[in-house]
Structure 1
Amino acid sequence: MENAILKFEKLLRENVNYFPEISKNVLEEKKTGKWSKKEILGHLVDSAVHNLVRFTEINYAEKPYRHRPYNQIDLVNLNQYQEMDIDELIQLWFVLNNQIVKIMKSVNEEALNYKIVLSDESVIDLRFLMTDYVEHLEHHINQIKS
């Protein structure tokens, strides 16, 4: 878990200052059927919101914890990230993820083993979900940077 946290912190540190340097045109450019880079960042905000809830709720919810999916496309559209001020969007992304880092650092070994039932009834643990969250974040950051 320590490696995932270090990677997470590095991703936040490097990109909170990088994202504001990307031109507005590049951030807002849309291709048919694809999110803009700005909307990808908005998707990362939605992901942070949902995972912040998951990472905290699992500690007091009935076990095994049932993972609730969300409609990613609808949320990006409803939250209107394409029209949002980029500095506010970056700040929102950073603050939410900084809180997730704090939670990840405070999770004990017992909690990392809590079972999570996915919508397809497969079972993972909190350690996998947290590590996968960092991988998901890195994947989308790379899309923004490309």
Structure 2
Amino acid sequence: MTEIANKLEQLLNTGFFYLSKCSEADLRSKSSPEKWSKKEVLGHLIDSAINNLQRFTEIQFEDQPYSYRKYNQNALVDANDYNNAETKDIIDFWMAINKRIISLIQQQTETTLSYKIQVDENEVIDLRFLMVDYVDHLEHHLNQIIQ
């Protein structure tokens, strides 16, 4: 999992560099009313980090298979009003929570990476898949911000 932790760290560095150089107007701008701004996409990545940090942590001590809880992405972005939040605060929070996630990824063993996660009645994944998927998801949305 060292490769995944390193990839996440590189994505954070890329994101931090880009976001630090953007104007507030660029970060808050929306291509249409129903689309997220760059700040809202970043907010979505924060919400994803919060939920996944909880999953990555709880699976260490909850009964197996761990029960995967979904969350309402749009409602969380709206409720947190990321577009009007202090940019520095949300960038710092995004960086900090992902550094914690990197630490968790680095702590995993082959045993813990094989812990089962019940996504729904027909789908079971493992912690390794969830961690890799988290980093891929972050990369996808970071690319949306940077383009």
**What CA deviation, in whole Å up to 9, does each residue of 1:3-62 have, x standing for no partner?**
211111111122223212111111101223110010000000000000000000000001
Q: Which residue of 1 aligns with 2:96?
A: 95
Q: Which residue of 2 aligns with 1:68?
A: 69
- Structure 1: 4+ residue segments shifted above 4 A: none
- Give the secondary structure class of the aligned counterpart of 1:118: strand
Q: 1:72 and 1:120, CA in 2 relative to 1: closer, same or farther beyond 3 A?
A: farther
Distance 2:66 2:46 in 1: 22
The answer on whether the counterparts of 1:11 and 1:138 sit within 8 Å (CA) in structure 2 is yes
Query: Structure 2 matches for 1:1-146, cutoff 5 A?
Result: 1-30=1-30, 31-119=32-120, 121-146=122-147
- Give the secondary structure class of the aligned counterpart of 2:141: helix
- Give the secondary structure class of the aligned counterpart of 1:19: helix
- Gap runs ≥5 in structure 1: none
The answer on whether the counterparts of 1:68 and 1:119 sit within 8 Å (CA) in structure 2 is no
The one-letter code sitting in structure 1 at the alignment partner of 2:38 is K
Distance 1:139 1:13 in 2: 15
Identity of aligned residues (%): 46
Moved more, 116-125 or 37-46: 116-125
Distance 2:56 2:99 in 1: 13
- Gap runs ≥5 in structure 2: none
Moved more, 45-54 or 28-37: 28-37
TM normalised by structure 1 equals: 0.97
TM normalised by structure 2 equals: 0.96
Shift of 1:120: 5.0
Moved more, 14-23 or 124-133: 14-23
- Give the secondary structure class of the aligned counterpart of 1:101: helix
